[in-house]
Amino acid sequence: MKLFVFKAKDKYIGIESEYIYRIIDDYKITPVCLTPKCYAGLIFYRGELFDVINIRLLLGYSGHLENTYDEPVENQRIIIIKWHNKKLAVIPDEIIGMIWIDGNYEGLNSYRHENKDINLIKPDYIWKKLLELSYGHH
């Protein structure tokens, strides 16, 4: 099993590599008003639109906050994830790389690799968290 690992909020996060569609950098993110703090904006990449999420802000979410992305974000590395019929772009704090893990990790929440605890996250979990946030006027 291959795991794609990145860092966010001092934590190592691993996502199954088959869901990673592309890693892009230096791509213009268009901010969108009335969105939660973690919603960085939209990108139009190779004919498709992606919501861009700052994963650190998403995981550190505490109530509805004003969007801090007032200006286009530049020089960011963006991880594009595609799974089932969904897609999402994620801004990590840092990209670590790919690791191989042995055995069945189904049901595990974390995996220890080189003295680092890697939190195993499924894209559906990120999506669920995003849907819990409020958008627009409330």
Partner 1 sequence: MDITKYEKIFDQESRKYLKELEDLLMAVEKDLSNLALWAEIHGKIHSIKGMARALSLTKISDLCHLMEDWCLNFQQGTRISSPAAVQALFDGSNFLGYLVSNKGWIDSFEDQKLYNNLISKFEKIPDEPSKSSSLTETVPALASYQSPAITIDHVKIKYSFIEELLGLTQEIQLLAKKFPSFLNEQMSSGLKNWIGHYTALMKVLYFQLTQLRLMTVGDFADLFLKSIRDIAKENNKSVNVEIIGSEIQADITLLERLREPLIHIFRNCIAHGIETVEERTNLGKNVNGKITIEAKSEKENLYIKIRDDGRGINKSLIINHLKDKQLMTDEEIGRMSEEELYNIILSPEFSSSSTTTELSGRGIGMNVVAQSIDYLGGSLSISSDSGKGTEFIIKLPLSLSIIYAIAFSIGKHTLAIPTLHVKSISNIDIFSDNDRKSYYDIKKVLGVAENKKSSYSVLNLKYANDQSTINQTTTDQATTDQPTNDGKESCRHLLVDNIIGNRPLMVLPVGDLLSGVKLFSGIGIMENGDIALLLDLDNLPPQ
CA distance 92 to 9: 9
Query: How many residues of this chain interact with partner 1, rule: CB under 8 A?
Result: 27
For partner 1, the binding residue among 10, 84, 97, 107 (CB under 8 A) is 84
Of 20, 18, 1, the residue nearest 92 (C-alpha): 20
Positive or negative CA dihedral for 9, 93, 89, 23?
A: negative
Taking the alpha carbons of 118, 119, 120, 123 in that order, is the dihedral positive or negative?
negative
Question: Which listed residue (64, 65, 72, 74) binds partner 1 by CB under 8 A?
Answer: 72
Give the angle 8-14-18 at the CA atoms, nearest 5°.
Answer: 130
Q: Examine residue 19 and tell whether it contacts partner 1 (CB under 8 A).
A: no
Residue of 44, 98, 109, 128 that binds partner 1 (CB under 8 A) = 44
Q: What is the DSSP letter of 12?
A: E
Tokens of 119: 């939190």
3-state secondary structure of 45: strand
Shortest CB 75 distance to partner 1, Å: 17
Q: What is the largest CA-CA distance in the chain?
A: 47
* Stretch touching partner 1 by CB under 8 A, among 27-35, 57-65, 104-112, 116-124: 27-35
Verify binding: residue 60, partner 1, rule CB under 8 A: no
Q: Which stretch binds partner 1 (CB under 8 A): 9-17, 36-44, 55-63, 116-124?
A: 36-44
Closest to partner 1 by CB, 51 or 79: 51
Residues in contact with partner 1 by the rule CB under 8 A = 28, 30-35, 39, 42-44, 47-49, 51, 66, 70-72, 84-85, 130-131, 134-137
